[in-house]
Chains A and B, each alone.
Chain A
Amino acid sequence: MTLDKIRNFCIIAHIDHGKSTLADKLLLETHTIEAREMSNNQVLDDMALEQERGITIKLHAIQMKYLGLDGSDYIYNLIDTPGHVDFTYEVSRSLTACEGALLVVDASQGVEAQTIANLFLAIDAGLEIIPVLNKVDLQSAMIDEVSQQIIELIGCKKEDIILASAKSGIGITDILEAVRLRVPPPQGDITAPLRCLIFDSVFDSYRGSIVYMRVFDGTIKEGDEILFMATKQKYRVEEVGTLRMGREKKTQLLAGDVGYLIAGVKDVKDTRVGDTVTHFRGGAPEAISGFKLAKPMVFAGLYPQSAEDFAMLRDSLDKLALNDSSLIYEPESSVALGFGFRCGFLGLLHMEIIQERLDREFNQNIVTTVPNVEYRVMTTKGDTVIVDNPSSMPEPGRIEYVQEPYIKAQIIVPTEYVGAIMKLANDRRGIYKTVTYIDTTRADIHYEFPLSEIIFDFYDKLKSISRGYASLDYEFLEYRESDLVKLDILLNGDPVDAFSTVVHRDKAFEWGKKLCSKLRELIPRQMFEIAIQAAIGAKIIARETISAMRKDVTAKCYGGDISRKRKLLEKQKEGKKRMKQVGRIEVPQEAFMAVLQISD
């Protein structure tokens, strides 16, 4: 197959705008999959969790054979992209592997923030954009309005927009033809030194890391000695092939192809998304630009419920990391929680996914601390300390100043909610940038935020304020100096490291008060009084008291009561396993996430 018969493209869409349904229809139409093989679930999302959340978490690619209306056979490579703000970097890498993108917009919903963010990434990557207005057969479809939004966004003509309904099969042929006619065939030189872009990898326990990649130049075949240019790892190719419903082994992959590579790589960390594969000898002098290590933005401590499960948690994390090179973790110990791991995540969603997978796939009962961002602390001695755990924040006297990560956020929302959103943004230390109007009904709001202000419940708040209509996208901006303080929580005078948080000074008093009162609700009465205090340094800023229980005793215990009583005590003891013993105080697990339950 010559390069001019290959089309590499992806789909950009907001969650629920029909990306997966459309992908399935394309597979059916090209007989890549037959209707009877297709279950109720969409083919591209094969993790149970993804299906529940309606989010494609990991990228995949699939190859179709398409008989064009011109009578020629074409190879279509559809590369899937994740649709959530946590995965911007992965999106940008899979876009780079394509020459075109289908921009799918729900005709009843209009353009959303993430769609725009990903669209701009696609435009930056030089992709040909094919706008598709989906769900046009819905009663609530606003074909003219949404078409107008699209025209303003990408400057296309009205007749460039394909009207479709993936669900009803409307416009599918038009889309396939548009890909053939409008998406440029890949460029590439088969004789040039090898350059392949990794856009994903998965771990197979028999074969090792399976690399999904786009070949830009050269040829790669079994037996080749290759080099991963960023990680500088050398391997020998065991197998290459294309991705259809399963892996299809090929003798070689050529410039322009999308496929997979197996080279006995034992560690997915050697096969980083965005890295370039070349030949070890006579390789390309320069890698494909744009590689960066996915950087964790959100950190939290993960601790086993009971100390003896530490090794099991470590094994589970090791296994998860095999498939998720962006998950980082290192052992840490907490006075309150014992031995556990400090984990870095791409974002809050990524963290939730890891927590849920630990629970569901590995049956791990874990205690998670409140998530935080990474701070840069300039000390009075003039050195910089990176702090990814509030409890390791230096003493106030040693701090010259503290910097925290800022992000720029784009929020798209119906105009009637603009006021409420701006109020929320101000509460979260947002810095107003611009508001523009996409059309008469929708506003595009730009703000800068400290990342720490949006990692807890900002997205939920945004959704509830806007009745679900607001959409959010953000990207890292820079580190900025902020007046931040470490807020400690003391139980009976002893600071509990797992409760420490870093907050803005202006909010510290209120936070402290709310946190103390929340903990008072969550910690049960015990045999002794418990003082809950919030402190900045040595200064106590809030206090709550849990009064002591007055008695805890069963009055009567004779021959007939003994067995029953023993069972009751054993049950109570089991119940206590859901508690963490902090000093002498029994603290329920949910207390460690108390901050998340505090409302503004």
Chain B
Amino acid sequence: MRPLSAYLHIPFCERKCVYCDFYSIENLSLRGEFVALLTREIDMKLAAYPQPAGRTLNTIFFGGGTPSLLTPNELERIVAKLSSHFHVADDCEFTMECNPGTVTLEKLRGYKELGVNRLSFGVQSFDADELKFLGRIHNAEQARDAVRLAREAGFDNVSIDLIFSLPGQKEAVLQKTLDEAIALNTDHISAYNLIVEHGTPLYRLVQLNKVIELDPDRSAELFAIVQRRLADAGFEQYEISNYARGLDRVGGLPLPQPPLPLGEGAFTLGEEASHNRAKHNLVYWDGFKDYVSFGPSAHEFIAGERAWNVSSLEQYGRMIRDGKLPRINREILTLEERRTEVLYLQLRSTGLRVAEFDSVFGEDLLLSPEVTYLIEDGMLRAENGLLCLTQKGYRFCDGIVTRLMSVWETAASKDVRGDYIPIAALH
């Protein structure tokens, strides 16, 4: 049976950040009730769609919101429910997203006992003004403490998130944040170019001209600085915004595991692939792999069908209490749509598996002159059966993808099945 990944969305935050477009609410008192709903959703979904039941979970990811607002007791109830329906792999990567302002040694130890083996801290910046602008509840000191506590609790796979290209960001401030991040010696760093997402408070501020977005050329320079600085520090960029500490990490301890074999989500870019890549996220960027999801606004993708839940805890609760799955929509992808997704997802991360792509979609990708041009331009490289973005290529991923898409004439691809089918119409 094909392995599976699970995503669980914990929609609570002490305070919403100015840039964030994930669904969350600030009323923490609904937490207990939510855990009950979430476990019911797991039962209901597996009763209605038995297909994922009994499959092996290779990765589990608690995202949000702020999953670290869950107490170990609450987490235990959810994990028990998952274990009752799925087989959790021995080496399952089990990630909790944590806000540095919400963790204690005791809580982290509790998580560890429940099987959590990877922590991802939303640090974002080490600059006090930037943290204030972003609306974070923690400070730089708490961020450093959180990582220290994680190590003390025995976590050997710790990641931090950073955000750059903040309005008016000076290079020196970014350099300082990068230096501090590297000094923390974490196993993984996600560094995101700030996106002003529709519907966020930041979007309104930009519309009102109260905040001026960084010039795109300037933000491209900052992106290149991030890439170079992290590469110099021994981090392998394996996705546009994700960097895994390599085997030869500077000043660190050699990692215990042997290198992964080629295939199944781990690929070299001329060197050995790092073990510290986020395996769960690689599933999103594969385009072929299945993941099941629970919680408001969560998206799942099983056998070419994508479905997602309502982005409202209230509605989510009402639907579950009414005995309905809290889904709002689904889409069944056409072959052309899958082709587009596989292309851009694999390209943006560890590289497109050319032979598989060609055989599934009937293409002959490497024969396309556009591919040759992009290789000549230093945007792509073809290696070990993969078509990968170069460091420069990562900065042009969207442009490269649309160029490759333009090669296909998709006049006949207007398949109505690709449109959303409201769930209401299915009942």
Contacts and interface: CB of A to CB of B under 8 A. Distances in A.
Nearest to B163: A555
B399 A527 contact: yes
A555 B349 CA distance: 11
Interface in B172-218: 192-195, 216-217
Interface stretch (A8-16, A458-466, A566-574): A566-574
Nearest to A526: B399
Contacts of B240: 553-555, 557
B377 interface: yes
B272 interface: no
Nearest to A553: B397
B280 to A, nearest CB: 10
Contact of B400 (A527, A559, A562): A527
B301 interface: yes
A214 to B, nearest CB: 51
Contacts of B306: 562-563
Interface in A529-565: 549-560, 562-563, 565
Given A527-B377, A551-B220, A562-B306, A557 B345 contact: yes
Contacts of B405: 569-570, 573
A528 interface: yes
B396 A551 contact: yes
B368 interface: no
B131 to A, nearest CB: 19
B395 A569 contact: no
Nearest to B338: A566
A576 interface: yes
Interface residues of B, number: 53
A560 B398 CA distance: 18
A566 B402 CA distance: 10
Nearest to A573: B405
A559 B398 contact: no
B241 A549 contact: no
Interface stretch (B27-35, B243-251, B290-298): B290-298
Contacts of B78: none
A552 B393 CA distance: 10
Nearest to B399: A552
B337 A566 contact: yes
Interface in B389-408: 394-403, 405-406
B78 to A, nearest CB: 18
Contact of B373 (A306, A563, A584): A584
Contact of A556 (B219, B241, B344, B370): B241
B340 A554 contact: no
A553 B63 CA distance: 24
A556 B300 contact: no
B395 A559 contact: no
B253 interface: no
B300 A553 contact: no
A581 interface: yes
A308 B411 CA distance: 10
B299 interface: yes
Contacts of B220: 550-551
Given A553-B398, A566-B337, A559 B192 contact: no
Interface in B370-421: 370, 373, 377, 379, 394-403, 405-406, 409-411
A565 B345 CA distance: 10
B398 A569 contact: yes
A148 B403 CA distance: 69
B341 A562 contact: yes
Given A527-B396, A566-B344, A558 B281 contact: yes
A557 B284 contact: yes
Given A308-B409, A527-B377, A551-B395, A559 B300 contact: yes
A307 to B, nearest CB: 9
Contacts of B341: 562, 566
Contacts of A569: 340, 344, 398, 401-402, 405
B221 interface: yes
Contacts of B298: 559-560
A550 B411 contact: no
A553 B396 contact: yes
A115 B301 CA distance: 74
A499 B370 CA distance: 24
B97 to A, nearest CB: 11
Contact of B308 (A560, A572, A584): A560
B396 A576 contact: no
Contact of B241 (A308, A555, A563): A555
Interface string A250-270: 000000000000000000000
Given A551-B220, A553-B397, A555-B240, A573 B402 contact: yes
A550 B217 contact: yes
B241 A552 contact: no
Given A527-B377, A550-B220, A566-B344, A576 B406 contact: yes
A300 to B, nearest CB: 27
Contacts of A581: 406
Given A551-B220, A573-B405, A559 B331 contact: no
Given A560-B308, A562-B306, A553 B299 contact: no
B345 A572 contact: no
Contacts of A558: 63, 281, 284
Contacts of A572: 398, 402
Interface string B18-42: 0000100000000000000000000
Of A308, A526, A552, A559, most buried by chain B (CB within 10 Å of CB) is A559
Interface string A568-593: 01101100100001001000000000
A559 B195 contact: no
Nearest to B285: A557
Contacts of B219: 551
Contacts of B63: 558
Nearest to B378: A528
Nearest to A576: B406
Contact of B340 (A552, A557, A566, A576): A566
A566 B194 CA distance: 20
A572 B340 CA distance: 12
A395 B306 CA distance: 60
A527 B404 CA distance: 13
A570 B340 contact: yes
Given A560-B297, A573-B405, A573-B406, A555 B193 contact: yes
B7 interface: yes
B223 interface: yes
Contact of A562 (B216, B223, B299): B299
Interface in B341-363: 341, 344-345, 348
A527 B398 CA distance: 10
A381 to B, nearest CB: 39
Contacts of B411: 308
Contacts of B370: 584
A528 B373 CA distance: 11
A559 B348 contact: no
Contacts of B241: 555-556
B291 A559 contact: yes
Nearest to B400: A527
Contacts of B308: 560
Interface string A284-323: 0000000000000000000000101000000000000000
22 contacts: A526-B399, A527-B379, A527-B403, A549-B216, A550-B216, A551-B219, A553-B395, A553-B396, A554-B398, A555-B194, A555-B195, A556-B195, A558-B63, A558-B284, A559-B299, A562-B284, A562-B301, A563-B331, A566-B337, A569-B340, A569-B398, A570-B340
Given A549-B396, A562-B341, A573-B406, 9 more contacts: A550-B221, A552-B396, A553-B394, A555-B241, A560-B299, A562-B345, A565-B344, A566-B341, A569-B340
Q: In the A-B complex, list the 8 residue pairs whose CB atoms are closest, starting with the nearest.
A: A550-B220, A552-B399, A551-B220, A555-B193, A559-B299, A551-B395, A553-B397, A555-B192
Interface of B: 7, 22, 63, 192-195, 216-217, 219-221, 223, 240-241, 281, 284-285, 291, 293, 297-301, 306, 308, 331, 337, 340-341, 344-345, 348, 370, 373, 377, 379, 394-403, 405-406, 409-411
